Amino acid sequence: MPVDDRVRALARIVWDHLVLTTPLGPADAIIALGCHDPRVAVHAARIWHEGRAPLLVVTGGRGKITSGWAETEARVFARVAREHGVPPDALLLEETAANTGENITATRRLLGERGVAVARGVLVAKPYMTRRSLATARRQWPGVDWLVSAPEIGYDSYAGEEDERRFIELMVGDLQRMRVYAERGFQAPDPVPDAAWAAYEQLVRLGFDGHVIGRPGNVGGGS
């Protein structure tokens, strides 16, 4: 089915649930979760310049969208951060993570090896990955006061700058994972409202299932 007004109305319901930001305060580290959108790195650099934390960690190897990149997500994000004024001695690269759970666990391991204690951290992600990133961090790295932030981009702007069908399918997959991964213990429970789940189900029925767990070719073993 093509992306029409009906599909967009449903997708906005999913977007509105998935987007979650918190007030920011002083932290020990900013963690930019790698993805295909370099605006996440730009936003993380802005937060660093605000003095929120002394260290910016960029984490990401290659994921489902960036598997064909010549460089890891972390290297791309680090270059963008440097271009926006973050000095190399304030940057740390984690280049192995292939999913959100590994973004958290690999960063935790890396900072532990460096002797960096994190009592409060700022997660920076795509807008529609913020809620899931926070739920993942609360499960995979408990004991930290997690804050979360994203580039200030609305649904219409985001959809207009992306492959809209792929963008909607990614959101549909992420909303499904909010429920499935909580059940599997990968994320902290964060109930999905009935309206958001109904929108998810309708979008799946309409064929926007390219990143849904259980669809042939999709793997649901990570977070």
pLDDT cut 70: percent of the chain above it: 96
Tell me: do 130 and 25 sit in the same domain: yes
Is 70 exceeded by the pLDDT of residue 218?
no
Domain that holds residue 37: 20-149
Instruction: Provide the pLDDT for residue 114.
Output: 96
Is 90 exceeded by the pLDDT of residue 221?
no
Tell me: do 43 and 140 sit in the same domain: yes
How much of the chain is in helix, strand and coil states, percent to nearest 5? 50, 10, 40
Is 70 exceeded by the pLDDT of residue 5?
yes
Tell me: do 13 and 24 sit in the same domain: no
Q: What confidence category does residue 207 fall into, taking pLDDT thresholds of 50, 70 and 90?
A: very high
Is 60 exceeded by the pLDDT of residue 222?
no
Average pLDDT, integer, range 75-88: 98
Tell me: do 31 and 64 sit in the same domain: yes
119: exposed, middle or buried (C-beta count within 10 Å: 0-12, 13-18, 19+)? Answer: exposed
Tell me: do 84 and 46 sit in the same domain: yes
Is 90 exceeded by the pLDDT of residue 159?
no
Residue 217 is assigned to a structural domain of this protein:
no
Q: How far apart are CA 19 and CA 153, in angstroms?
A: 10
Is 60 exceeded by the pLDDT of residue 93?
yes
Three-state SS for 80? helix
Give me the sign of the Cα torsion angle 46, 78, 221, 203.
Answer: positive
Instruction: Provide the pLDDT for residue 121.
Output: 98
Report how far Cα 10 is from the mean position of its chain's Cα atoms: 21
Tell me: do 107 and 55 sit in the same domain: yes
Q: Which of 207, 220, 218, 213 is nearest to 10 (CA)?
A: 207
Three-state SS for 8? helix
What is the number of structural domains in the chain?
2
Average pLDDT, integer, range 194-207: 98
Tell me: do 110 and 55 sit in the same domain: yes
- Express each pLDDT in 95-145 by its tens digit: 999 999 999 999 999 999 999 999 999 999 999 999 999 999 999 999 999
Q: How far apart are CA 36 and CA 73, in angstroms?
A: 7
DSSP state of 36: S
Instruction: Give the domain CATH number at 101.
Output: 3.40.50.620
Tell me: do 134 and 163 sit in the same domain: no
The mean-pLDDT minimum among 16-30, 70-84, 90-104, 152-166 falls in: 152-166
Q: How far apart are CA 147 and CA 209, in angstroms?
A: 30
Q: How far apart are CA 139 and CA 185, in angstroms?
A: 8
Tell me: do 75 and 137 sit in the same domain: yes
Instruction: Provide the pLDDT for residue 216.
Output: 53
Is 80 exceeded by the pLDDT of residue 54?
yes
Is 50 exceeded by the pLDDT of residue 32?
yes
Tell me: do 137 and 158 sit in the same domain: no
